Structure 1
Amino acid sequence: MGDALRRFFDQALSELRDFLSLLRDPEGRARLFIELRPVILIALILSMVGVFLLPPLLEWLADVLYPPIEETVTRRRAFGRRVAQTVVTDDPRNELFAPRMLAIYRYLASATALFFVYRAARRALRGEHFASKPSFEATLVSGARTLLSGIGTRETATSAPPLASSPTLVQAAGDGSIAGRYQIKSELGRGGMGIVHLAEDTNLQREVALKELPAAFMASDVMAERFRVEARALARLSHPGIVQVYDLIETDQGSFMAMEFVRGGPLDEYLNGKLPLALDEFYRLAPLIARALMHAHEAGVIHRDLKPANILISEEGEPKITDFGLAKMHEGPKLTQAFTIMGSPAYMSPEQASGEIADARSDIYSLGCTFYEMITGRLPFETSGPQLLLSHLQEEPPRVAELRPETPAHIAELLDRMLAKSPDDRPSLQEIVERIDEAAEASVV
C-alpha cells in the first residue's frame, strides 16, 4: 500500500513538473490552448444544462416524487364535539430535493470539466490532438458543433459542398437547355435550398425562374422530397401575392422547378435605406402579405420560413411570398422530426426554436418579426447564435410604442401580440388584416 501510494505521488509530481515546463514553452502553451478549446465548449454545454434545463426538470420531478401530504386531523369543537378535517401540508423533502440534486450535478460537472482539463494537458504534453483518434470529447464536441452550426440552416447532406462553390446541373448539361424546353439565360441567385436561373420557356415564349435542386443534394431522399413538397405547395396556391409554379421537371439532368419570374427584388433589399418604413407604405404592404399568407393557410400550407428575404417586391411594388422550401402541408409527408430546428433564427417562433412541430401560428410570429422590423427599423432581438434562440424563448422584445411612439396604439399592440410566446395568444391573420386596414382608413381621414 505504501509503495503504491509513493509511486502515485511520484508520478503526480513528475506530471506537474512536465506541465510547468509546458507552460514555460511558447509552443507548449499554444498546444495546450488548442486542446482546451473543446473543453471550454464542453464546460459551456454543462453550464447551460445546469442553468436552463435541469432546475425546472428537478422541480417537476420533486412534485412527482414528493407530492403534498394529506392528513386527517380530529379537532375538538364547542360543546365537546370532535370534527375530522383533512389537512394538506407540503412534504419537507420536496423543497430539499431540487437544491440537493442540483448541487450534486454541479459537483459532478466540475469534476467532469477538471477531468477533461487533465486529459487535454496530457494530450498537449504528448503532442497528440483530441480529434486524431475517436474519443468521447471528439464525439461530444462534434455533435455540439453540428448543432450550433446547424441553427438557422436547413437540412442538407452532411458532405455537401457550399452552394456558393457548387457547380450547377445546368453547367454540367453544357448546352444550357433543360428538358428540351427551358433555355437558360443567366443565374439569378443561390439560396439554402436551390439555385435559381432566369430561363426562356421556348414553348410558351415567356421568361420563367427555373429553380434547380443542387447536385450536392440529389443523393438525399429528404432534400429531394422537400423539393417536390415545395412544388406541390405552390401548385395548389393561386393568389396574386404568391409566386406561381408552372412545372416540375425531373430528368436525368436533375430536378428543376419552373416558376413565375418576378422582376424586382426581395423585401429586405427593398427596405434598405427606408427603415423605419413610412406608415402609409406599411399600411399598403402589410395587408397584402397577410392576405397571401392567409390564402396559403386556408389551402393547408404552412410556410415555416417567412422572412423579408422570402417576400419579393415586384417592379410595380406588389409583394409576393416565395421560397416554400420548408413548407408543410397538412396531409403531406412528415419530413421534419420532433426537436429538429427549422427556419431562420432572426424570424423563428419560440416553438421552432425549441424544436417543436410548428403550425400556422408559427408563421404569424415570423410575420410579426417582419412587420416589427418594417415599423421599428430593427429586429425584435439583435443577438446571434444560441442566445438568439434563447431570446425568442424567454425574453420580451422592446415594445413597438417605445421604439416608434407615433405608431397608432392599436397597431403597436397588434404587433406585440403577434410576438407572443404562446401561440394561443397571437391574433389571427383575419384580425391582423382588419386592424391594419382600419388604421389605413383612419390615416386618410
Structure 2
Amino acid sequence: MPEAIDLLIEARWIATVDSDTTLNNHAVAVHNERIVAVLPTREARARFAPARHVKLPGHILIPGLINLHTHAAMTLMRGIADDLPLMDWLQKHIWPIEGTHMSPQFVYDGTRLACAEMLKGGITCFNDMYFYPDAAASAASEFGMRATLGITTLEFPTPYASDAADYISKGLAVRQDWLGNPLIEFCLAPHAPYTVSDATFERILTLSEQLNLPIHCHIHETAQEIADSLQQHGQRPLQRLRKLGLLGPNLIGVHAVHLNDDDLELLATTSSNIAHCPTSNLKLASGFAPVAKMRQMGINVGFGTDGAASNNRLDMFAEMRLAALLAKGVSGNAQALPAGEVLRMATLDAARALGLADKIGSITPGKYADLCAVSLSPLETRPCFDPVSHIVNVAGREHITHVWVAGKCCVDNKTLPNHPQNDLESAVALWQNSLEFRQQP
C-alpha cells in the first residue's frame, strides 16, 4: 500500500546542491515539514500517496534561497536617498529618518513588505540586522518565513534603546520570548567596529559562546573605515576583532570589500564567514570584494541583498548573477564562481554561516522542505542546456512560481496565499506619505 505523505513535488530538474549532479525527472516527498525522499518520479508515484501532488514539468526545483544580510524594515525607505556615498547616506538621511519614524509599527510593516518581496523572489530565510526584533519576528512568522534576527547593538541611542547594554538586554528578552519557534532564530548583531566599543564586543563574544549564537557584523566596507580604525586603534578592524577573539566560525562578516592579504589570511585561518553584498557595494561605491580569492582560500561566503534602501531590491537572483560576473571581471578568470558554486553559496553555504546547514540549504532527506520552483518554460529561458547555469545566468525572480517553507506553500502560482494585498498596500502608502513629509525642506 502506498505511503501517505503531505506533499509530492515532481519537477523536470532538481538541483539538490549537496551534490553536483542535476537530477532529471525526479520528485521530492515531504511529510511533517521535512523531506523524506528524493527519487525518480515513476518510483515516487508508486511509493507515495500524497495529500497534495504538484507537477512541475518545465521547472527546476532548488533549495530556498538564503539572504545572508539584510535590514528588512528598511524596505520602507526604498529609494529615499539614492546616489550618495555610505556615510553621507547614513548620517544625513537614514539615521535622521530613523530617529523620527522608528517604532515597532514601522519595523512590523517594513518587514512584512520585505517578506512579501523576498518570498516571491524565492528567498525562504533571511538574516536581519535592525531594531525592534519582536516586531520583525511577528512579521516573518505571519508570512511563514524563516528568519535569523539580530540583537542589534550600537553605542549611541536610538528610539529603540539608549546604549549598548540596553540594546543587548532588550534583544535577549525578545529571543527568550520566541524560544521554541521553529522558524525564528537569533544572532548577536554588533553594527560595526566603528560603532561598537571593545567592552561591548567582549560582552558579545561571551554571549555568543554561552548561547552558541552567530555574530553578524559589518566589516571593511569602506576604505575610510579602515583609515579611521588605524588612526583610532592603531590596527585594521579585522585585526582588532581578532585581538578581541571575535573571528571564528560564529562570525558573519558583512561586505568585506577592502581586504589585504593579511585580512584574507585571518578570515581563512579562523574559518570566519562572509556575507557578500555586491549590489549594495556598487551602489554605495564601496568597491569590489575579492570573492574569487576568498573562495580559493576556503573562506565560506554567502550572499546578502543588504537593505532595500541601499540596493534597491531584495533580489537574490540579481545578487547571484552580479556576484558571478564581478568575480570573473575582478579576478580576470572566466572560470571563477561557476554557476553550481554560486547556487551553493546562495543556499547551503549561507546555511552553514548561520549554523543551520543540518536543517536547510539543500534538498536532502531529513532537512526541512524549504524549496523554490523556477519555471524554465518561458521563451526567454529557452533553449536550456544546463538548468543550473540558467538559474544564475538567465532566470530571474519573475520565473519563480512556487515556494515552500517547512513544507508549507508560501507562494502558489506566483501569489501569496492567505495574505490580503490591500492591507499591506495601505500600510505602505501611509508610511510613504509620512516619509515624504519628513523629506520636504
**TM-score of the superposition, structure 2-length normalised?**
0.26
**TM-score of the superposition, structure 1-length normalised?**
0.25
Structure showing the higher strand proportion among its residues: 2
Structure with max Cα Rg = 1
Pick 1 or 2: higher relative contact order, CA cutoff 8 A, min separation 6. Answer: 2
